[in-house]
Structure 1
């Protein structure tokens, strides 16, 4: 029996395809400098990146009232926009994995909770604008992950049934969304996680340590 790659793959962005933590850190440290605080270390911020701007703001300013931090989110997003693509890069092995998928005829796209306008500006900086078949941001639709709607809409837009599409993500919300959408899932263990996170509990279909492993068709769920 011939082992084949999935017909389509959808990826989370931050922490899955892209190591964006350095860009996020640069934005956070601009904010900290403006408030006479020393720079934050990358290791402190990295586990929070997949949880979004509010989690990163809470890690950077734990002594600040949550309502005040909420008012700072637009400022953070403005600073982050200035840092887009300047410090981060695709994880090692991602480009080779994407090239292998493309050579096998697999269609791929991105479903992220990052605001659409930021994701749209970032993709060309990575050279993916002609390769990424669909892009759904966190505010593209009426719901975001862990709701399955972004995944089902993305599959529909590329003309593939959810069951024939695999979702790859590094956060529990990704796996919850995939399960609810009826998609097989891959847990990206190379991504961003808090120390007390246990990916086994997420019940993804497979767990993968390194992106380059996904250049092998046999590593994907449903191909064994």
Structure 2
């Protein structure tokens, strides 16, 4: 009979899983809109697409522009976001106690995000994670990004832990697809960002978890080999 225990390693998505960064992205879009004499973005419309990336957020803020016109705004979007990163964002409720519980159990943890690595690294000192985060892989760190499994496999190899003994936690379908392709157990973080049309049950994560604080308990993590 399997005994509930924390994984040897836990890997996390960043935006929408550990960090509620939507307020930073609302401020970024509002600055761009204001510079063009446009009205602010509706935060309730932007929030669900944060995990989808810059293009999706710009599509919400500038719905009248075509794909090429929105793509041309990405450099400005990233520059403005970098200038205010962390000013409005905060950890999701329960994340800090969850990380502390993992560390107390001897679990190492890291971050695998599609956010550009240089931006993700700015978050670490803001949260006091420089020494705590064992590995950080960004969306531009490698030749592939999620939903490709390479970033997860790279992170596991960096930590010296087999993928099957790691767990990946994320709030977007691409997170779970990457974990499944890496043969890594996964947690669908239901506290994150989702469109109404998203169906987390269909992602086939190992487990679905409603709130971050529930992961303080070993019984909430996927069964380990």
Q: Which runs of 5+ in 2 are unaligned?
A: none
Q: Is this contact kept in 1: 2:4–2:223, CA < 8 A?
A: no
- In structure 2, the partner of 1:38 is 39
- In structure 1, the partner of 2:91 is 90
Distance 2:80 2:36 in 1: 14
- In structure 2, the partner of 1:99 is 100
Post-superposition Cα deviations, 1:162-195, rounded to whole Å, max 9, x if no partner, equal: 0000000000000000000010000000000111
Q: Is this contact kept in 1: 2:165–2:224, CA < 8 A?
A: no
Q: Does 1:206 align with 2:207?
A: yes
Post-superposition Cα deviations, 1:61-114, rounded to whole Å, max 9, x if no partner, equal: 010121111111000000100111100111010000000000000000000000
Q: Is this contact kept in 2: 1:187–1:208, CA < 8 A?
A: yes
Q: Report the 3-state secondary structure (helix = DSSP H, G, I; strand = E; otherwise coil) of the residue aligned with 1:152.
A: helix
- In structure 1, the partner of 2:53 is 52
- In structure 1, the partner of 2:13 is 12
Distance 2:158 2:42 in 1: 40
Q: CA deviation at 1:2?
A: 4.5
Distance 1:12 1:86 in 2: 20
Distance 1:147 1:171 in 2: 13
Q: Is this contact kept in 2: 1:134–1:158, CA < 8 A?
A: yes
TM-score (norm 1): 0.98
- In structure 2, the partner of 1:179 is 180
Q: CA deviation at 1:223?
A: 5.3
Q: Does 1:157 align with 2:158?
A: yes
Q: Which runs of 5+ in 1 are unaligned?
A: none
Q: Does 1:188 align with 2:193?
A: no
C-alpha RMSD over aligned residues: 1.1
Q: Is this contact kept in 2: 1:217–1:223, CA < 8 A?
A: no
Aligned residues: 224
Distance 1:131 1:56 in 2: 30
Q: Report the 3-state secondary structure (helix = DSSP H, G, I; strand = E; otherwise coil) of the residue aligned with 2:72.
A: helix
- In structure 2, the partner of 1:167 is 168
TM-score (norm 2): 0.98
Distance 1:142 1:218 in 2: 36
- In structure 1, the partner of 2:131 is 130
Q: Is this contact kept in 1: 2:9–2:165, CA < 8 A?
A: yes
